[in-house]
Amino acid sequence: MKKFLLVIGIFILATVLIPFWIFRFGSNHIYTSTESVSPTAVAIVFGAGLTVQQTPSDALHDRLSVVADLFHKNKIKVILVSGDNRFENYNEPEVMRQTLVKEFLIPADVIFADYAGRRTYDTCIRAKQIWGVDEAILVSQGYHLPRAIWTCEHVGVKSTGISASLQSYVYGWKFKIREVGALYKAFFDVYIHHPSYIGGESINDLKQKI
């Protein structure tokens, strides 16, 4: 009985500590101002959805605004935009690229699009395995960054983050609640499951620009 209670106690403790550990780890590597960011060659921008008009969602537009600011302040050299392109009429990375070029006046030749960044794990591991990124600053909202940083670090991408939380978002509280479950999923993916992702040959174009 004592052994059973010990096992239950350890399980409960681990259940509580896992999200706290991931959140604390990532939170220690986040900037809140582009002015204070240490120069890093590569910035990775995570997709955050498109509107029915196929334009960036408010959250995604803020991420693009922040990474553009980093570029214009010479804090980064190249931008990797990563998102979902599973469906014929849904192309996050291309919309991200076009918005950076047309609205934020970023040169097209410094923007690289990863069309298979379906979720955070995929974006991080493809950045390492396909694009050869060893270090990057991650651009996302504050609630997402701890998990993104932790995941990228644990697949081999040394990471810091810059918060793109520039406003209050519709249903933002739902995303924060969902993030708790996503922290457990990140732990499971990195240490236990090692999920499959869309692989491919290495792409050297980005590294040649650094």
Q: Phi and psi dihedrals of 45, rounded to 5?
A: -110, 120
Asked if 73 and 58 touch (Cβ cutoff 8 Å), the reply is no
User: What is the structure's pLDDT at 190?
Assistant: 86
- 17-43 burial: b if 16+ Cβ within 10 Å, else e: ebbeebbeebeebbbeebeebeebbbb
User: Tell me: the pLDDT tens digits for 129-184?
Assistant: 999 999 999 999 999 999 999 999 999 999 999 999 988 876 666 767 777 778 88
Task: Walk me through the domains of the chain, giving residue ranges and CATH numbers.
Answer: 2-209 (3.40.50.620)
Q: At residue 22, does pLDDT exceed 90? A: no
Share of the chain above pLDDT 90, in %: 59
Q: Is 27 left (phi over 0), alpha (psi -120 to 50) or beta?
A: alpha
Task: Tell me how far apart the alpha carbons of residues 73 and 167 are, in angstroms, rounded to a whole number.
Answer: 22
User: What is the structure's pLDDT at 10?
Assistant: 44
Q: At residue 11, does pLDDT exceed 60? A: no
Q: How is residue 136 annotated by DSSP? A: E
User: What's the chain's average pLDDT?
Assistant: 87
Q: In what order do the strands lie in the sheet with 158-163?
A: 30-31, 158-163, 135-140, 42-46, 78-82, 111-114
Q: At residue 24, does pLDDT exceed 80? A: no
User: What is the structure's pLDDT at 41?
Assistant: 97
User: What is the structure's pLDDT at 7?
Assistant: 40
Task: Tell me how far apart the alpha carbons of residues 172 and 49 are, in angstroms, rounded to a whole number.
Answer: 13
User: Tell me: the pLDDT tens digits for 85-117?
Assistant: 888 788 999 999 999 999 999 999 999 999 999
